[in-house]
Amino acid sequence: MGLAAYFRLARAGFVLAREGALSIFDNDALPPVMQAGVRFGRLFERGEVKRSGRVERLTRALNRLGPTYVKLGQTLATRPDIVGADVAADLAVLQDKMDPFDDKLVPGLLAEALGARATEFTDFSAPVAAASIAQVHKATLTDEDGRRTVAVKILRPGIRERFHADIESQYAGAKLAEALVPKLKRLRPVDVVATLDRSARIELDLRLEAAAISEFYENIKDDTGFVIPKVMWDFTSDTVLTTTWVDGIPIRDNAALDAAGVDRKALAKNLLQAFLLHTVRDGFFHADLHPGNLFADPKTQNIVAVDFGIMGRITRRERRFLADILYGFITRNYRLIAERHFEIGYVPRSQSIDEFALALRAIGEPQHGRRVSDISMAKVLGQLFATTELFEMQTRPELILLQKSMVLVEGVARALDPELDIWTISEPIVGDWVRRSAGPLGRLEELKDHFDTVVMTLGRLPAIVNKAETALEDYERDKNSPDRKFNRFMLVSGFWLAAAVLLVALWRLLGL
């Protein structure tokens, strides 16, 4: 870790202190070393910030520090288990909006990324959106397929170097925090930075976002009510992403939607059901469905989504888990929800399933009989994840991202239709999934997954045998070992024990 990383870290600390971001901490709850640090840092606080709210203080500081810190704030917003619910809620309002870079740089960036094909773009607009990583322009593309309007997303110049430098300083800060305040290790600051690092590396290669759009497009191409743009691979590189252009009214503009004759109730229903369908059917969902990424097409009444830098993925096992949870709350079957938590291993077997089911009933029962507008699916899931902590449930990052996404979707849907009946609209999607997965077709799919696992495991047996033979040959060449017979016995016994364990595992996997 270079000395420059610590200088950048010191600058970041000064900016955070100057902008009043340290005021978000409950100083009495901090260890003594950190209490002293916060008190010292607040000596540099500008007088003006005392009059602003704490959300504004934190977001202003992160925006001043630049794109890496904006991304760090957004990452922490998805981890209330680490920063606490209040700070996570504050960070959730952090918008990924930055000043655009100079339009004059665009031709050179396109030529560098696309070569001669860059000349096929004309009529470039001013940036229609500018975020921390990239900005988007509207343009006209003329090629062998004709003349079309497209969206061109261009990575910010120098953004990779900036990210790598800032990430290095954040690693330095995380390691320093763990060293100075050992109690902070339970919050895993290094892991938080590592999560941001992985996310940034993916977002800094626009080909990976293009691949996500392509997979998403294939999943939903036969669906109705929810559409996304299509990738134009010939005009896409690691720094440029070109897609078809999509028109629509911003979904947050209720007045414009009403003036265009858009059915907002139908739009809200489409949004919620589409999100659940993508999640439980495909296990691959748009994880950043805030109002700025959603539009409505007044001609087709479809929802149009953009910006696929953050996508969520859950396995078939987790999809079944989610569907059963929602279905259990819809049907008031709290035992089902409890059983799924134990079956998937989220709650240890040492806990009482009956007591856990009782705790779930305390969450679900107050929702029934209430007005539709007072019932929040996101709130129920939030209470669920909070309750599971009492039963030693381990943190599941994929479920936290899913919960955050559901909060966004439900918030947008309720803004469109304040009387939205969350549970009635959800039942056809999650109910069909539960009935399907519990039926013959679902069992066949589970059997196929088990069979694939068996085939993969059996495929490893020759390699295991080869390694055992090599180890025995090496042993035979070793004539000087005083414990030769004992070592041979242990080696052969270990091999057969491993083989026996493998066969038993396969036997149980097949349910024989």
Q: What is the pLDDT of residues 96-109, one digit of tens each?
A: 677 888 889 999 99
Q: What angle do CA 290, 319, 76 make, to 5 degrees?
A: 40
**Same domain for 484 and 395?**
no
Stated as kind and residue range, the H or E segment containing 408 is: helix 397-416
**Same domain for 351 and 455?**
no
Alpha helix segments (H runs only) across 181-302: 189-203, 206-220, 254-259, 264-277
Give me the catalytic one of 81, 288, 324, 417: 288
Tally of helices (H runs) and strands (E runs) in the chain: 20, 11
Residues belonging to the chain: 512
Query: What are phi and psi for residue 122, nearest 5 degrees?
Result: -140, 175
Average pLDDT value for residue range 56-68: 76
Average pLDDT value for residue range 204-230: 94
Q: Which residue has the higher pLDDT, 395 or 74?
A: 74
Q: Which residue has the higher pLDDT, 342 or 56?
A: 342
For residue 55, the one-letter residue type is V
**Same domain for 46 and 145?**
no
Average pLDDT value for residue range 304-329: 84
| pLDDT given at position 239 | 95
**Same domain for 149 and 227?**
yes
For the ranges 4-13, 277-286, 352-361, the lowest mean pLDDT is seen at: 4-13
**Same domain for 72 and 149?**
no
- Most confident option among 28-42, 330-344, 426-440: 330-344
For residue 393, what is the DSSP state? P
Q: Which residue has the higher pLDDT, 326 or 158?
A: 158
Residues paired with residue 138 on neighbouring β-strands, in sequence order: 151
| pLDDT given at position 113 | 95
For residue 74, the one-letter residue type is Q
| pLDDT given at position 395 | 57
**Same domain for 78 and 155?**
no
Number of domains in the chain: 4
pLDDT above 90: residue 319: no
What's the rounded Cα separation, in Å, for the pair 209 and 311?
9
**Same domain for 120 and 225?**
yes
- With cut-offs at 50, 70 and 90, classify the pLDDT of residue 117: very high
pLDDT above 70: residue 460: no
Which one of 246, 281, 303 terminates a domain? 246
What's the rounded Cα separation, in Å, for the pair 147 and 140?
7
Other beta carbons within 10 Å of 338? 24
Q: 16: number of CA atoms within 13 Å, CB side? A: 19
| pLDDT given at position 265 | 92
pLDDT above 50: residue 303: yes
| pLDDT given at position 186 | 60
For the ranges 89-93, 325-329, 432-436, the lowest mean pLDDT is seen at: 89-93
**Same domain for 295 and 404?**
yes
482 — alpha (psi -120 to 50), left (phi > 0) or beta?
alpha
- Most confident option among 35-49, 338-352, 458-472: 338-352
**Same domain for 299 and 418?**
yes
| pLDDT given at position 72 | 73
- With cut-offs at 50, 70 and 90, classify the pLDDT of residue 83: low
**What residues have CB less than 8 Å from 56, skipping those under 6 apart?**
none
Nearest to 118 by CA among 128, 105, 131, 130: 105
123 included as an active-site residue: no
Average pLDDT value for residue range 421-441: 73
Centroid of chain to Cα 211: 16
What's the rounded Cα separation, in Å, for the pair 256 and 238?
36
- Contact between 373 and 419 under an 8 Å Cβ cutoff? The reply is yes
pLDDT above 50: residue 397: yes
What's the rounded Cα separation, in Å, for the pair 377 and 369?
15
| pLDDT given at position 458 | 56
| pLDDT given at position 439 | 47
Which one of 438, 468, 494 terminates a domain? 438
Distances (CA, A) of 238 to 144, 201, 401: 23, 11, 26
What's the rounded Cα separation, in Å, for the pair 299 and 297?
5
Average pLDDT value for residue range 341-353: 82
What's the rounded Cα separation, in Å, for the pair 68 and 203?
12
Other beta carbons within 10 Å of 71? 25
Average pLDDT value for residue range 114-135: 90
For residue 2, the one-letter residue type is G
| pLDDT given at position 434 | 77
**Same domain for 382 and 489?**
no
11 — alpha (psi -120 to 50), left (phi > 0) or beta?
alpha
- With cut-offs at 50, 70 and 90, classify the pLDDT of residue 19: confident
**Same domain for 411 and 267?**
yes
What are 374-393's pLDDT values in tens digits? 666 666 766 776 676 677 76
What's the rounded Cα separation, in Å, for the pair 451 and 448?
5
For the ranges 138-147, 350-359, 417-426, the lowest mean pLDDT is seen at: 417-426
Task: Look up residue 38 and give its two tokens.
Answer: 């916060």
| pLDDT given at position 36 | 77
Stated as kind and residue range, the H or E segment containing 367 is: none
Alpha helix segments (H runs only) across 19-118: 32-41, 54-65, 67-77, 80-83, 85-91, 106-114
pLDDT above 80: residue 207: yes
Average pLDDT score over the chain: 78
**Same domain for 138 and 261?**
no
Query: What are phi and psi for residue 151, nearest 5 degrees?
Result: -105, 130
Range of the domain at 156: 97-246
Percent of residues, the chain, with pLDDT higher than 90: 25
Which one of 438, 462, 496 terminates a domain? 438
What's the rounded Cα separation, in Å, for the pair 62 and 100?
17
Q: 131: number of CA atoms within 13 Å, CB side? A: 19
Look at residue 188 and give its three-state secondary structure.
coil
- Contact between 217 and 173 under an 8 Å Cβ cutoff? The reply is no
For the ranges 205-209, 290-294, 324-328, 495-499, the lowest mean pLDDT is seen at: 495-499
Alpha helix segments (H runs only) across 115-183: 159-180
Average pLDDT value for residue range 343-371: 80
Q: Which residue has the higher pLDDT, 60 or 485?
A: 60
Task: Look up residue 441 and give its two tokens.
Answer: 């077709």
